[in-house]
Structure 1
Amino acid sequence: MKTEKLEKQTLTWFVFSANVIVGAMARQMGLHHGLDAFNGYVAFMVCTLMLTAIYINLQELFKRTLSPLFETLFMKFPNYGKKGKVEIEDKETTEEESLTKETDTNPPSNMDYAQIRLSAMKAKEQAEQEKLATVLTYTRESFAPYMKEEDLNILCKYICLFHADKDIPKVVRTVKVDSAIRTIDLMHFGWNIGYQFSKSGIQIATFIKRIFAEALKESEISTLKSKLRLEGKCTIKIDTTLKQSA
């Protein structure tokens, strides 16, 4: 496209230069035959404009009459027709490739929204389930030596409800623990699992107060909330990772 435009500009300047030269020659001939300088310039302008007008008219004539005639004559030659067809096909192919590239680079913003959202929701749900599984494993490993199996299963059931933000039954079966587990251990345990579930201090304190009601009967919820990370001698330590044992 740029080459064709450059060729047209070159041809135009060439014709214009030729017209100027012919106009200058006409001026010199006029001066030679007795014209004054002013009339010589008039002859120069008239000759140049006439030649330019003739060139433009000839172009229009060629486009309207001679060009279709030549096209018809050249179409009789097989190679000419094939060449034109190949050029058209190459142009169409280039345009299609360009359009495909733009489409791949800039995909529609709303086409895959539902699929992307569904995939994100599934990934989030999977992460939460893995987190819950880690907490349950940690719970069993922490309390297996200090709690009966039946109580441990009930505790895990309540932890699942705690994770899902579901209401724990108003009348709950108190989970009993061995005397080796003290208040500080239960506060640490509550904080460890609550941290993984992104629970607030009051939620954690309320949960352990209800589940371990017998062991924490002397402690108020407000006290438990303020001392969840109390330092001191303990069996269950503060743990923000809850890595599962191999």
Structure 2
Amino acid sequence: MEQKKIERITLNLIVFGTIVIIGVLARQTVLHYGWDDFSSNLIFVVCSIIIGAIYLNLQMVFGQLLSPTIEKCFMRFECYRNKAAVVESPIIHAELAENTIISEPIISKPEPKIEIETTSDTTEVVSTPSCPELNEDVAELPKEETTPSTINNISIEESNQPTEYDLFRANAMAEKERASQEKLDKVLTYTKQNLVLYLSETDLNRLCEYITEYYLSDSLPKVEQIKVDAQLKTIDIMHFGWNIGKAFGKPRLQTATFIKRVFAHTLRDSEISTIERKMSHTESECKIKLDSKIV
């Protein structure tokens, strides 16, 4: 290490001396051409700075780029490889020695033992306890006390419990929903059973969708007309409308308007008022009979 330090100091002194010599030569040159002292001194400083900067840049370039390339070229020669191996081996041994010293286990000293003499002239060996907590008595845990905050929390939880009114109302709403769904299912089943011979599957499913929307909504749904088989007459469609309107509890006028829009082709010659008036007539022959007991 000392040898390398001396070599580095010597190299820096040589470089510094060379820079000073070049600066002095530059100063003497400008003085020779008639420049004043101030200008010549300025030239000396500028030349020294420029030469120093060039040296530092060249040193960086050589260390990062040229040095690895030159080393690769020299590594081709066997004598240089042997020399490099000899230089690196002491460094490796030194690192191994340091790691060995660091990794040596720390030998713990045995716990001191206390000899106690008893009346029977026997010696007992007692090891000192490692935890002082063993000599302390176990304290009893304090009993939990009911604090005012706990009482308040219990009161809030009790207030959040549903009241008897809420329970009865929820049960009544659930029962109403169940009855409504059951009524709708029966009407849809009646529709499929009575019109399956006169409608295609697509039209029958679309009709069931219209009936569902008509039942669940207070206003009339937007529909596209459905054309039934020619076997069904006007009175059949009127009877069908009266049957589902009766099951749903809808007004006659509203039901008449609904079937007029859905079966516009079949009821093209009948006005809504006529449909409303003749929905429950039975004087003519028909395929769909009046049925007030669908639900």
- Please tell me the TM-score bracket, short chain as reference: 0.5 to 0.7
CA–CA distance in structure 2, aligned partners of residues 111 and 175 of structure 1: 50
> C-alpha displacement at 1:242, in angstroms?
1.9
CA–CA distance in structure 2, aligned partners of residues 233 and 208 of structure 1: 20
The aligned amino acid for 2:189 is T
Of the three residues 162, 170, 176, the one matched with 1:124 is 176
Of the three residues 196, 199, 205, the one matched with 2:256 is 205
The aligned amino acid for 1:114 is D
Q: Deviations over 1:181-212 (max 9, x none)?
A: 11100111001011111001101100100000
Of the three residues 241, 245, 259, the one matched with 1:190 is 241
Q: Deviations over 1:67-92 (max 9, x none)?
A: xxxxxxxxxxxxxxxxxxxxxxxxxx
Alignment partner, residue 211 of structure 2: 159
What is the aligned length? 133
Partner SS for 1:145 = coil
CA–CA distance in structure 2, aligned partners of residues 111 and 132 of structure 1: 32
Of the three residues 125, 132, 148, the one matched with 2:200 is 148
CA–CA distance in structure 1, aligned partners of residues 250 and 220 of structure 2: 15
CA–CA distance in structure 1, aligned partners of residues 275 and 221 of structure 2: 21
Greater helix share, structure number: 1
CA–CA distance in structure 2, aligned partners of residues 169 and 128 of structure 1: 19
Q: Verify the 8 A CA contact 2:214 2:221 in the aligned structure 1.
A: no
CA–CA distance in structure 2, aligned partners of residues 111 and 154 of structure 1: 44
Q: Deviations over 1:49-72 (max 9, x none)?
A: xxxxxxxxxxxxxxxxxxxxxxxx
Q: Verify the 8 A CA contact 1:161 1:167 in the aligned structure 2.
A: no
Alignment partner, residue 187 of structure 2: 135
CA–CA distance in structure 2, aligned partners of residues 128 and 161 of structure 1: 13
Query: 1:54-133, aligned counterparts within 5 Å?
Result: 111-133=163-185
Partner SS for 2:167 = helix
1:176 is aligned to 2:208: no
CA–CA distance in structure 2, aligned partners of residues 152 and 161 of structure 1: 14
Q: Deviations over 1:70-116 (max 9, x none)?
A: xxxxxxxxxxxxxxxxxxxxxxxxxxxxxxxxxxxxxxxx9400110
User: Which structure has more RCO (C-alpha within 8 Å, separation ≥ 6)?
Assistant: 1
Larger radius of gyration: 2
The aligned amino acid for 1:217 is R
Q: Verify the 8 A CA contact 1:185 1:235 in the aligned structure 2.
A: yes
CA–CA distance in structure 2, aligned partners of residues 185 and 114 of structure 1: 46
The aligned amino acid for 2:262 is I
CA–CA distance in structure 1, aligned partners of residues 218 and 191 of structure 2: 19
Alignment partner, residue 41 of structure 1: none
> C-alpha displacement at 1:166, in angstroms?
4.8
CA–CA distance in structure 1, aligned partners of residues 206 and 184 of structure 2: 15
CA–CA distance in structure 1, aligned partners of residues 277 and 220 of structure 2: 23
Cα RMSD, aligned residues only:
1.5
Q: Verify the 8 A CA contact 1:177 1:215 in the aligned structure 2.
A: yes
Structure 2 unmatched runs, 5+: 1-161
Q: Verify the 8 A CA contact 1:158 1:168 in the aligned structure 2.
A: no
